[in-house]
Structure 1
Amino acid sequence: MTDATHNLSSPRNTGTRTYRLPIWSDANWIVRIALLIGLILIVTALAAPWVAPFDPNAQSLISRLRPPIGFERYKDGFYFGTDELGRDIFSRCIYGLRLTFALALAGAVIGLLIGGTLGLMAGIIGGVFEEVIMGLVDAQIAIPFTLIALLILAVMGSSLDVMILVLGVYGWEQYTRIVRGEVKKLIQMPFVEAARAAGATPLRIAVRHILPNVVSPIVVQFTLNFSNIVILESTLSFLGLGVQPPTATLGSMVGIGRDYLPTAPWIVLAPAMVILLLTFAVQILGDWLRDKADVRLRSR
């Protein structure tokens, strides 16, 4: 009777379940910090029109070069200070984050689609097609991409569409080399040979048996490429070839603020810190997603 009463009162018989969020519960403290930073940055970028206290392009020369909060001559409401034209740096960082994130994401996705598709096709088809693709990869690697970007921007201009094209072309050869190498290795594995013997089409073999095994290196390369694209956009904006003023990107803010670094360092430090946080979150989350997406690690 006592055992029956104990069993009836046991929590396992109450019908209640304890739910948990796998992304949060399975992550260590560094990944959790990166996840929180990433969520804050994304939400802030998406809600820029409601979060930013001022128009990012509104000028007030009487308020130019005001320091951030906590310093003398701080002006109420301008938490990160103002730039050389009296524009609110906090508002410009928020809008710049949204545009920089969109450009980097679009460029990384385009590079992944181009490079991943060519690498997959080169590894499966082989022959002359593979030689041509790898020849293009070698040519791309041999030429510094900055020169290619400068040439494209000089010929086609510095519009937003051209910037997306330039950033999308960046890094495709790395995807191609990685995916092609993984495919050449996997295509000799017994499970692929068995699928081929069973009559599976090349498309089914690629989607069903090869792609799940190349997700891990692709995720790593995507995070690296994303961070590098942020730096590339900053470099091009630093040279005056990125998105043109008065539109704010994090890179252009750093480039413009370099002339005022000795007297007004906050103009550079604020957007540079946002770039640092963004790349940190992407890198840490990318490594964590790599481990989660690797079917070889899950099978152990």
Structure 2
Amino acid sequence: MMNPAVPAPSAPAAALQLWRSADAIQKAAIVIGLSLVLLAVLAPIVAPFDPNSQSLIARLRPPLGFERAKAGHLLGTDELGRDVFSRSLFGLRLTLMLAGLGATLGLLIGGTLGLLAGIVGGRTEASIMAAVDTQIAVPFTLVALFLLAILGSSIEVIVLVLGLAGWEQYARIVRGEVRRLMKLPFIEAARAAGAAPLRIAHRHLLPNIVSPLVVQFTLALSNIVLLESTLSFLGLGVQPPTATLGSMVGIGRDYMPTAPWIVAAPAMMILLVTFAVQILGDWLRDGADVRLRAR
């Protein structure tokens, strides 16, 4: 006699179970990641000043606690007297938005092409994998610089460029997983029952490739944060006076000897974002992988 099916835990219960299974570093990364996202979302409320408001009288003031610090400016001011803390919050907000949109676009492009290559095969697969090999062979930073120099530095173009970064990794992962799954008995049974390729992809393939895609998404997200910061550092990202973390570091590097706090705050946020995302990726992978949960 078969045992009755065990009901799946609710979302809060599953989240609580994942939290309890996390180690100290993973819990710290979760807290840091959620705190950064909360700060980014609440930037218009939390920021004490307009991020673009200038005051040449208050330029290059150090953080509170140092000599010549100006009241109200927690992390000091930059070369134009703008509040570093406020600009860092809004820079974090825009950097996370661009990275999230870019990573999602890359997932959609690469995942769709990988799924198509794995299911259809033949010349379609060969063409897609040739494009994947070409993308891997060419350093993408050079491609990004070329595209931004030709198309400009609007938000839409930057999101497109960031979305093209790393799509080939999704395509390779999805294509490999699909080809492996297509040989398994339950897929063969679905095909024998007359299930259409779209139904097989939706009902049988996609649920079984969530775990590697989650891991790749987090890796891509942290890499895209660094890529966006690099492009902004070089002056090809979002243009002034709008702040991103990378542009703040790029502008502040000229003042490192006399005003290192201009660079310290955005650089620390970039470090915390990449740390939290990488650790969260491992945590989510462990929670999404049924093979690991079964141990």
Give me the TM-score of the superposition, normalised by structure 2. Answer: 0.92
Per-residue CA deviations over 1:14-73 (Å, capped at 9, x if unaligned) read xxxx99933433322222211211121111111111100001011111111111122211
The answer to whether the 8 A contact 2:103-2:217 is kept is yes
Please give the alpha-carbon distance, in whole angstroms, between the structure 1 residues aligned to 2:268 and 2:275: 10
Cross-structure match for 1:45:
40
Partner of 1:274: 269
Structure 2 equivalent of residue 54 of structure 1 = 49
* Partner of residue 107, structure 1: 102
Change (3 A) 1:145 1:227: same
> C-alpha displacement at 1:199, in angstroms?
2.4
Q: Does 275-284 or 93-102 show the bigger shift?
A: 275-284
User: Could you say what the CA RMSD is over the residues aligned between the two structures, in angstroms?
Assistant: 1.6
Percentage of matched positions with identical amino acids: 71
Within the candidate set 278, 281, 284, 1:283 is matched to 278
Q: Distance in 2 between matches of 1:296 and 1:199?
A: 29
1:116-155 → structure 2 map (5 Å cutoff): 116-155=111-150
**Is the CA contact (8 Å cut-off) linking 1:67 and 1:73 kept in structure 2?**
yes
Question: Which of structure 1's runs of 4+ aligned residues deviate more than 4 A?
Answer: none
CA spacing shift, 1:80–1:215, aligned 2, 3 Å: same
Task: Tell me the residue number matched to 2:247.
Answer: 252
CA distance in 2, matches of 1:208, 1:143: 36
Q: Are 2:83 and 1:85 aligned?
A: no
- Distance in 2, Cα, partners of 1:30 & 1:288: 10
- Cα deviation, 1:76-122, whole Å, max 9, x if unaligned, reads 11111111111100000000000000000000000000000100110
Note if contact 1:233-1:242 (Cα within 8 Å) is conserved in structure 2. yes
CA distance in 1, matches of 2:18, 2:270: 24
Q: What stretches of structure 2 of length at least 5 have no aligned partner?
A: 1-12
Matches of 1:222 and 1:156 in 2, distance apart?
26
CA distance in 1, matches of 2:28, 2:136: 35
The answer to whether the 8 A contact 1:213-1:295 is kept is no
Paired residues in the alignment total 283
**Equivalent residue for 2:7?**
none
What stretches of structure 1 of length at least 5 have no aligned partner?
1-17
2:25 corresponds to which of 24, 30, 40:
30
3-state SS of the aligned residue for 1:21?
A: helix
Counterpart CA distance in 2 for 1:243 and 1:35 is 28
